[in-house]
Structure 1
Amino acid sequence: MKKIGMGLVVLAGIFFLGACGNSNKDKTDTAKDSWATIEKDKTVTIGLDDTFVPMGFKDESGKITGFDVELAKAIFDEYGITVNFQPIDWSMKETELENGTIDLIWNGYSMNPAREKKVLFTNPYMKNEQVLVTAKKNKIETFKDMKEKNLGAQEGSSGYESFTTQPEVLKDIVANQDATLYGSFSEAFIDLESGRIDGLLIDKVYANYYLTQNGKIDQYLIIDGEYSSENFAVGARKTDQTLVDKLNSGFETLQKNGTFAKISDKWFGEDVTPSK
């Protein structure tokens, strides 16, 4: 019996060491520049919120499409690399990146100081701003009109980060000094349309596209905010400088050969290059 017991202990130890080995391997893989592996495997995985129109979302057929999706494919086509798009919980995006579940965060991802501490950003490729969307019938025409009103925002969004870090703009005046949080903007719009919230803090690019595509642009006000404008960029792990350099080079190539403008015109009706 003692021999059997000792055997079980040894086996348990082997399994434990094996598990630790796998864990350490995963940590090692994400602790180095991954470009060589991506180039060898010819695949890269991009994490996105697949409800964020028009940047990256599922269309009626269930296919993932959008401005960022086409842009990413065009850049990695230059390197002969296939892109896998992985829908993620947007509030967990940096964790997914650090764990190695995804290689990049690319889906209308706004640059800000808090995120710069966690990820390595590419050069910005598009401007954006946070706006307040309200139904015209609510008679809310400025941020100050949200006093004691119910506000909605997406969990993990740059809009909610601005809301919390600049409380004097909205947080100090809205009901309960906080916002109702949603997993996606599409869920938030349902509550806005039903009157469960009075205003929605949201990316301007999403608001314009969603309301226009749904034929509701005349029923709502898009109120330009009192937060600073933002830049969209791609987020990578801090160790992935080569990958970021390749993306920056890819952006330059697409802007020079006209591909960026072509994709931009398809989704926005204009060239949204930051320098424009």
Structure 2
Amino acid sequence: MKQSMKKLLTMLLTLAMMLALAACGNSTETGQPAAPEASQAVESNQPENTEASQPQAESDLAYVKAKGKLVIGYTVYEPMNYTDANGNFTGFDTELAILVCEKLGVEPEFVEIDWNTKEVELNSKAIDCIWNGMTIDEERKQNMEITQPYVKNAQVVLVKKGTSYEGTASLIGKTVVAEQGSAGEDTILNDENLKQADYVPKSLQTECLLELKAGTADAAVLDLTLAKTMTGEGTDYADIEIVDFLAVEDYGVGFRKGSDICAEVNKIFDALLADGTMGKLAEKYGLELAD
């Protein structure tokens, strides 16, 4: 009897041990993962290296070089960008841009734009820069990357010869024209007397000269650089003269805000100033370089 009981107890203990081992095996397969795997799971939940995962800002210079060209926005504005009597597209800014593009290792592509929407075209990448006798001012410096000043300019009042002019007060109630979105327009809107004139914005500065010549405008406020070139003896506007200087300013080339092309162009400007190239070009077009 005792022997039978011993055998029974041995069998029960053996069965219990087998069941315990089976239970352990099942918990390993279907339960929590082993320690090394748990460690890996914790590591996978750690935040990624933010510096490596942040996308780098695109280099504007790299973008332009990848295209192989710099798209230059301009309006017809003698002596900066215009077509001469022989049908050649030329001008101070045109020639200067060609020289700079050669140094950058890209081709220049000139695209005529609407001056009033120049910033929109620049930011949409329809153009890569505004290179067209653009006046440097605080608002533009906030919205664009602008080169160092390279040419001096001023806003001047033009009238037909023989017109009585005694300062801007004599234009109160008269018709005055300027290019829309230009420094000339800003000058009119900020002058106490010219604000009381009948201001009519035009699409181009050359249209303003046509209005003066036709007698449909009493005065125009334009860039000195254009006025000197297009009026006086031997021009189509020999009967129009400059009678007043209202604002002295500088020109710069505008790029997209943050563009790294701007710094490269400044370096090229410095080199062209140092070797006299820019001075000779300014003399050719009757311009004065910025200080």
Name the TM tier (shorter chain): 0.7 to 0.9
1:221 alignment partner AA: E
3-state secondary structure, aligned to 2:201: strand
| 1:136 Cα deviation after fit | 1.9
| 2:66 maps to 1:40 | yes
Distance 1:208-1:141 versus aligned 2 partners, 3 A rule: farther
Q: For 1:67-95, what per-residue CA distance to the aligned partner results, in whole angstroms no more than 9, with x for missing partners?
A: 00001111121222211010001111111
| 1:205 Cα deviation after fit | 0.6
In 2, Cα distance between the equivalents of 1:213 and 1:259?
29
- The sequence identity of aligned pairs, in percent, is 29
> Which residue of 250, 253, 267 corresponds with 1:231?
250
Q: Tell me the TM-score normalized by structure 2.
A: 0.76
Between the two proteins, the alignment pairs up a number of residues equal to: 235
Distance 1:220-1:121 versus aligned 2 partners, 3 A rule: same
> Which residue of 91, 111, 129 corresponds with 1:86?
111
1:263 alignment partner AA: L
| 2:194 maps to 1:170 | yes
3-state secondary structure, aligned to 1:102: coil
3-state secondary structure, aligned to 1:47: strand
In 2, Cα distance between the equivalents of 1:213 and 1:185?
19
Q: Counterparts of 1:242-261 in structure 2 under 5 Å? A: 242-261=260-279
In 1, Cα distance between the equivalents of 2:174 and 2:69?
47
| 2:283 maps to 1:265 | yes
1:196 alignment partner AA: T
1:101 alignment partner AA: A
Partner residue of 2:221? 201
Contact 1:33 1:239 in 2 (8 A): no
In 2, Cα distance between the equivalents of 1:98 and 1:110?
18
In 2, Cα distance between the equivalents of 1:60 and 1:195?
26
> Which residue of 184, 187, 209 corresponds with 2:204?
184
Partner residue of 1:15? none
> Which residue of 135, 138, 145 corresponds with 1:113?
138
Q: Tell me the TM-score normalized by structure 1.
A: 0.80
Contact 1:46 1:106 in 2 (8 A): yes
1:170 alignment partner AA: L
| 1:141 Cα deviation after fit | 4.1
1:174 alignment partner AA: A
Distance 1:52-1:215 versus aligned 2 partners, 3 A rule: same
Higher relative contact order (CA 8 A, sep 6+): 1
Structure 1 unaligned blocks of 5 or more: 1-30
1:249 alignment partner AA: K
| 1:174 Cα deviation after fit | 1.2
Contact 1:53 1:210 in 2 (8 A): yes
In 1, Cα distance between the equivalents of 2:193 and 2:266?
34
Most deviating of 155-164 and 97-106: 155-164
Contact 1:47 1:106 in 2 (8 A): yes
Contact 2:176 2:220 in 1 (8 A): yes
In 2, Cα distance between the equivalents of 1:205 and 1:230?
11
Distance 1:81-1:169 versus aligned 2 partners, 3 A rule: farther
| 1:32 Cα deviation after fit | 3.4
Over aligned residue pairs, what C-alpha RMSD do you find? 1.8
Contact 1:208 1:217 in 2 (8 A): no
1:197 alignment partner AA: A
Structure 2 unaligned blocks of 5 or more: 1-56
Partner residue of 2:26? none
In 1, Cα distance between the equivalents of 2:80 and 2:166?
27
